[in-house]
Chains A and B, each alone.
Chain A
Amino acid sequence: MSTIKMTVNGKSVSAEVEDRTLLVNLLRDTLNLTGTHVGCDTSQCGACIVHIDGKAVKSCTVLVGQANGANITTIEGIARGDELHPMQAAFRDNHGLQCGYCTPGMIMSAIDIVNRHHGDLDEQTVRHELEGNICRCTGYHNIVKSVLDAAGRMKVAQAAE
């Protein structure tokens, strides 16, 4: 057992858990943040993606000890109050989800993609960058549309800040 301290969605948290605990299990089972999903549990699907210190990583493939002291953002932490994050809004407006299982991971990946490319994205780049996220419903077209739409919105939002 170890005491793990980290910042999750802006709040300091501390938990006493077994060393073999995966980050995704700490988030879902201990902190009740069940927006982050487990799709495959074999590092393939990206449903479990969260940001660790701003980087989109598969939380099913990180031991809690590796994230000790880190700053974590999950799907629950990106809206501002009632106002959806531009990526969430774009997924809603473009019908970027059907069952929604992959969506939290898609959105956390997509925000990271837009950030890394400073909003300058084309369809091919988005498709290449989404290789670590699997969706079994949409056929990806509307997901790609959502990400491109959000890239524009995030650029506008950043310019306004």
Chain B
Amino acid sequence: MYETIYHRPTSLADAAALFAKAGDATYLAGGHTLIPVMKQRLAAPSDVIDLGRIKDLIGIEVTGDALIIKAATTYYDITQSAEAKRAIPAIVHLTTVLGDPAVRYRGTIGGSLANNDPAADYPAAVLALDATITTNTREIKAADFFQGLMSTALQPGEIITAVSFPIPAKAAYSKMRHPASRFALTAVFVAKTKSGEVRVAATGASSSGVMRVPAIEQALTANWSASALDGITVSSDGLMEDIHGSAAYRANLIKVMAQRAVADAG
């Protein structure tokens, strides 16, 4: 790792001011992507600004029809939240199959979203539930936030402060975990909103990151059941192809994971 200067601000305003003053700063939350990347010298920020101690960025609440998770809340705290379990159990389930216990103690939902790894779990929940991402300057809808492989709508210095998930009528997440990395080989989040709209998002499948799956959405809109997907073929166009699985394998996994998720959602 190259030399860097570490800062631990206690307010959002201080964090943003430190970022503006530094030459080439990066925010740090759980560090479970950034630190490995810095060790490989793929990132060499002059300053590292730790968001992990900013109280305004930590916590979970349910207000009206939404579950709000603040950005620096750790995965572990999400798995322990009775409110999250009551509001959207699928998000808690997703969190329990993310990484391993040591990763869950440190990693944060904001870090995961800012990073937008093509096989990360939370982007699928955010896109399927049509969540809103709040930053220190604006609100961003899920569909506008994810902009392809590891890229997002965030501007330099912009800080995610919270994610607001509308509470759905039904939702579930089914993940085929890569047995070594524990990332999604392909995973699918299915949701039916309170107004009856069906939204389905797949992660780990497309080389441009999280994607919606219109063929499956249409079939489930007509008939919300696993068997409704029996005759569906998901196109393998644009899906990842690597030593872990071909594009055709991932296309089939999208269907199978969606069927399992619908069965779980009930």
Contacts and interface: CB of A to CB of B under 8 A. Distances in A.
B6 A65 contact: yes
B253 interface: no
Contacts of A41: 39
B35 A19 contact: no
Task: Classify the interface of chain A: helix, strand, loop or mixed.
Answer: mixed
Given A57-B106, A63-B48, A109 B101 contact: yes
A35 interface: no
Interface in A31-81: 41-44, 46, 49, 55-58, 61-66, 68
A146 B103 CA distance: 23
B30 to A, nearest CB: 9
Interface string B87-102: 0000000000001111
A57 B6 contact: no
B249 interface: no
Task: Classify the interface of chain B: helix, strand, loop or mixed.
Answer: mixed
B105 A61 contact: no
A18 interface: yes
A66 B101 contact: no
A55 B6 contact: no
A26 interface: no
A123 interface: no
Contact of A2 (B3, B6, B28, B106): B6
Q: Most chain-A CB neighbours within 10 Å: which of B3, B8, B35, B38? A: B35
Contacts of B1: 20, 22
What size tier do the contact residues of chain B reach? Answer: 20 to 34
Interface residues of A, number: 29
B224 interface: no
A152 interface: no
A61 B36 contact: yes
A41 to B, nearest CB: 7
B103 A132 contact: yes
Nearest to B7: A65
Contacts of A131: 100-101, 182
Contact of A56 (B3, B50, B101, B181): B101
A62 B8 contact: no
A133 B182 CA distance: 12
B36 A42 contact: yes
B102 A109 contact: yes
Interface in B52-109: 52, 76, 99-103, 105-106
Contacts of B101: 56, 109, 112-113, 129, 131-132
Given A20-B3, A41-B39, A61 B182 contact: no
Given A19-B48, A131-B182, A61 B31 contact: yes
Interface of A: 2, 18-20, 22, 41-44, 46, 49, 55-58, 61-66, 68, 109, 112-113, 129, 131-133
Among all A-B residue pairs, the 9 with the closest Cβ atoms = A132-B100, A65-B6, A19-B6, A131-B100, A132-B102, A55-B105, A20-B1, A58-B102, A61-B35
